[in-house]
Amino acid sequence: MRSELIARTEEAPPRMLGVLDRAACRALTVPGRAACRTFTLIAALALLGAAPAHAALNCPEGTSLIGDAPPRGTRQWCAYRDQEGRLAYHGPYSAWHDNGVLKLTGSFDRGLRIGLWIEYDEAGQEVVASTYRGDVLEGPYRGKTTDGGRAEGAYKAGKRDGAWRLFDKVGAKSAEGTFKNGLRHGRWTYFYEDGSRSEGPFVDDVRTGRWTAFGPNGQRRAEGPVVNGRRQGPWLEFDDQGVLVAKGPYVDDARSGRWVILFAGGRTQATGDYLAGQKSGAWTEWQPDGTRWEGHFRGGLKDGVWASYAPGPNGGMTGRGEMREGRMSGEWSLFDDRGALVAKGPYVDGKRHGTWIEVAKDGGRFEGEYRDGERDGTWIAYDLAGMSRGELSYARGLRRDGQVPVAPTSPGARTTP
């Protein structure tokens, strides 16, 4: 009997992974039928424990159920034959992944998708839920985006329409705004990982109008007009506390033209021209103590002759020399507030380097070498008549007797642009 049952099982069609149908059992001998029915029941119960049951679709009148649910198949739908004898989808439709998890569910009306359709991944998580009318997207929509985020909104005549919200892959809202005829149109707000945001209008999917950027603390950081997706015209820029710190024009998304940079208190810190996003031409800068610097920029860097002036409207020159690629380089002369020379010598990459002359308070002078901004080697002191008064020896800014010298000239912070 056992061998007969095995033989019959191997010949049976693979309808339910080894579960025999009644006809197969009736073909056996009387003892074999009982064993067959027992085997069939056990196999069926095993299947019920290994995978979820899939109920047959409820097909509309006049249609037939086509396909099989798992484990026999991966698609099942209802259909009828049209006047030309072709099968036409009509009624519910379901599809499954190879692992038996539901993949897609929805309904057809005479071959056209209608109502709610939902797609799932192999883990059973929803991927897309969309609404159709006459095989065209119409109504609520929610679904994953290509970057792993999520989108929620609605369609009208197959195109995005009305309010939409976008979320990133961790579920935080990344954007919200309105669509019209499939294009962003109206006010939109974009949210960023650091808590900042920007908001403004779109016209036919292009940023156009006044846009504002806000920092993580909600304070305004920048504001101005956008034309065809690029910043154009006068913009205002603010610090973390919402205080105005810069104002000037943009051209094609880059600073261009005369800009004014401000201290937090509103005083001017710098003014000059930008060209294609870089400082260019003549600029004037002020330090917090009121010291003024004047010179030129080239390619965004200080270049050429620069001069510093003492605070106040009538402040005299306190320094003059060369700037190369943004650093003091070449011969410089430094003056006191009365315009008298106090030091003269070369800079290399922003540091005193080479032979310098420094004037003492009594009118005498010191001469010696600087290395990378520090006195080094022998320095000679001269009196008013030019006679030597003695020598001092230095190593990396320290006198060789161990004392830290007080420079005969100490121009201060205003001597450095």
Residue ranges covered by each domain of the chain? 1-50
Angle between helices 30-50 and 2-11 in degrees, nearest 10: 60
Q: What is 343-408 written as a DSSP string?
A: EEEEEETTEE-EEEEEE-TTS-EEEEEEETTEEEEEEEEE-TTS-EEEEEEEETTEETTSPPPPPS
Task: List, for residues 167-178, the tens digit of each pLDDT value.
Answer: 999 999 999 999
Task: List, for residues 196-243, the tens digit of each pLDDT value.
Answer: 999 999 999 999 999 999 999 999 999 999 999 999 999 999 999 999
176 and 184 Cβ atoms separated by less than 8 Å: no
Q: What is the pLDDT of residue 43?
A: 33
Q: What is the pLDDT of residue 44?
A: 38
Q: What is the DSSP letter of 415?
A: G
Task: List, for residues 65-117, the tens digit of each pLDDT value.
Answer: 999 999 999 999 999 999 999 999 999 999 999 999 999 999 999 999 999 99
Q: What's the distance, Cα to Cα, between the start and end of the chain in Å? A: 104
235 and 244 Cβ atoms separated by less than 8 Å: no
Q: What is the DSSP letter of 28?
A: S
